[in-house]
Every structure is written in C-alpha cells, then in structure tokens.
Amino acid sequence: MRSFLIGLLLAAVLISCSTTPVPSTAEAEKHRKTVATSREKPEISIVKESPSILKGKIPIKQEPSPVSEDTVTRILEKLTLKQKIGQKFISWIPGTDINKKTTELIKKGFIGGVILNSQNIKNREQVKRLTIELQKTALTNNPSIELLIGADQEGGRVARFRFNQFTKFPAAYYWGEHNDPYFIEAAAYITGKEMSGLGCNINFAPVLDLYGKPNSSVIGDRSMGNNAGRVSDYGLFYLKGAKEAGIIPVIKHFPGHGITQVDSHLHLPVVDISEEELFSKDILPFKAAIENGADALMTAHILYKKIDPEYPVTCSKKIITGILREKLEFKGVIISDAIDMGALTENYTMDEIIKTSINAGVDIILVNSRYDTLKLEEKALNLFKKKEIKLSTINESVKRIIRLKLKYALIPFVY
C-alpha cells in the first residue's frame, strides 16, 4: 500500500508540474494496471444503491497510541477555568507573521487552536515559520499544550494552500468519480502529508455531505457523491489516508448539508425531514466514520425543524447530545462550524450562540473572522459565573480535547 501511495504521489506531482515529461497514456495505463494487480486489496463492499459499507474497520498502519485517563485528569487539574475555556476555542489570527494580537490570543486567551485562512498564507516557507512560532509561543504556557493548527483543505474551490509547492487536487466530487477508494486514500494521504510539512496537524475535511442539490452553491462538488454507500466507503478511506499522514481529519458537516440550497454563511437553512429520514440516508456516511474511529466532527448550522424546531444543529442538545452522543455514540471532539456565519448571527445573539452550543455538547467553538475571540471567551466565562453553563460541561469537553491532543502527541510533556 505504501508503494502505491508513493506512486500516486509521484503521479500527482508529474501532473501538476508542466515542465516535467509526462508518460504516454498507454504507459500510464500499463503502470496503473501493474500496480493495481500487484497489491492485495482488502475485501470491500462498494455498492451502487445500498448503504452497506466496508466489512469491519479499516486497519491504520500508524494508529496513535492509547491515551491514559489518569494523564487526562492530571492535565485537566492543572488548567485554570480561563484556560479550560480558552481550549474550547479555535481562532482566526491576523497577518502572515506572529504579532502582538496573536501572542495575546495564545498567552492570555490560551486558545486551543488556530485556523489559517488566505490572509495568513503567502508561501510555503512563510507558513512553516508562522506555525513554528505559533507552537513555540503555546509551549511557553503552563501547562504546555500545543495548538491545533489547520485549514480548510478539501480540494477544488475550498483549498487554502494554493502555492506551487502544494499538490493541487480537484473538488472531492471528482475524486468520487474515479470509483476507487484507493484514490481517495492516496489523495487524503498526500494532502495530509503536505499539510503536516507546513506545521499543520488538523484538516477541516472530508466533507461527508451528500450531493443532494445539483445547483447548490454551498456543497455541490465539495461532496464525494450522492450515494450514501459509496460516500461512506470513501469517507473511511479518507480517514485512513489522513491518519497515516499524521493529520487529524474533521468529518463535516454533521448531520448533512447537501439537502439544502441555502448558504449557511448568509442565512439559516431549514430542512423539513424527520429523524427517520435523516438516518435512512444523509447521516449514514457520518455513522460509518464514527464506527471506524473518527476523532473529530464539525456541525452544520441547519435547522431540522421536525427534530428541533428551536435551534439549529450547532446549538441543539436534541441533536448533538441526543443523536450524536447517545444514538451514534460519538466519543470524539465536536467542533462547530464558524459561529460568525449568518445562519447563527442573523437569528441569535452571540451570548445565546455560545451558551446553547456549549450546553448542547459542542467541544470547540470555531471563530473564523469578524469577532474578537478574547471577548467571546469572556462571554463564556460570564455565562459560567451566571450559572448558565456548568463546570462539569466545560470539564467533559476539555477532557475530550486533551485526549485528542495526547493521541496526536500535541502535549509534549508527561504531567
């Protein structure tokens, strides 16, 4: 498998570099068939219409080590309340170099992570310098806990790293068109390995939403397809490739965004389907990923009015706790989609968004732009002081974050 992945990496580089001679179509096809027949494939079940997926779990060659609960508890006990709240935020940062504002976010805010956007990215060496400085600053905190650093690197129109030294992949829909899960695994591995080389440790991908609306401007070709069975299979191979590259993949946007045409960046999408209908199709790729060890998940800002007529998924305890935690038994880290999006800010106050999302069971709040993350942390602290958020809720979330960071070696010292 490793030789296959390396071969596919070389093929991707050949395609992306116009100055490099490319083998003829006949030679490439001959090589592809040789590689395909020389490797032993595990038994898989990729079906056309049935939602059935792979038989059993896919083995990961470099599965991170198990986490000691005693260690998790010791680290939690070393954190102040403000530090615990800070760990529950992944924040945007200004500029392409670490500056006073960013240093304050890390030192004073004790933020749990950073999301990189186009405003933070010039070239490969600059990104590497930035991520090194971010982690150096985080490690001066007591206790020393590294940041989650990542970006939206899906491929196609949603790809933050676009410089020449980064392999360019099309949108995920065109990955799915190959009808080859090994292509998905290799693409995820290559993307993850190159992100890791930049100093990132998390990728806000893959999109497991189904391609439900052909003219959707939100999901569309970001989806790997419209068949729940195939997308489920592809999602598992994506997780395998990303994890072997040392990157935390974030499955999104739970429980499915493809069914709506409304852009949640601007307005609140409302979906009129029952929980039973949701479980019959859209939720299946997420269910498969959860059963196969997904570590992190991003919520959708969608109102499923037959399930929770009051709050969208990100703020809905009925969905986050009732469905995701209890029915699907997801034990990993739940990350909100960006809370500055219109779906939330048009309909709820920021205090209400923070309170309901944390109480619903969201572990990490993503702040992608517009808002001052330190002020949002202060709002969360004030909500705790007013007894609108419980300490036990905060502690359980932070323990999940600590487990994730320990699993991926982001807490370098043994406490």
Q: What are the residue numbers of the active site?
A: 265, 337
Q: Which residues pair with 263 in a beta bridge?
A: none
Q: Tokens 């990104």 — which residue?
A: 127
Distance CA 351, CA 57 (A): 41
On whether the CB atoms of residues 262 and 205 are closer than 8 A, the answer is no
On whether the CB atoms of residues 269 and 86 are closer than 8 A, the answer is no
* 312: Cβ contacts below 8 Å, ≥ 6 apart: 268, 300, 301, 302, 303, 343, 344
Q: Which residues pair with 367 in a beta bridge?
A: 91
Sheet of 248-254, strands arranged across:
333-335, 296-299, 248-254, 202-203, 148-151, 113-115, 89-91, 365-367
Distance CA 411, CA 415 (A): 9
Could you tell me how many helices (H) and strands (E) the chain has, helices first? 16, 12
Distance CA 246, CA 296 (A): 14
8-state DSSP, 221: G
Question: Residue 325 is encoded by which pair of tokens?
Answer: 């935690």
Q: Which residues pair with 351 in a beta bridge?
A: none
Distance CA 342, CA 170 (A): 28
Angle at 209 between CA 283 and CA 181, to 5 degrees: 95
Distance CA 162, CA 148 (A): 21
* 68: Cβ contacts below 8 Å, ≥ 6 apart: 406
Q: What CA–CA distances, in Å, run from 76 to 63, 103, 349, 396, 411?
A: 24, 23, 30, 10, 12
Amino acid identity for residue 1 in this structure? M
Q: Tokens 């994890």 — which residue?
A: 243
Number of residues assigned to the chain: 415
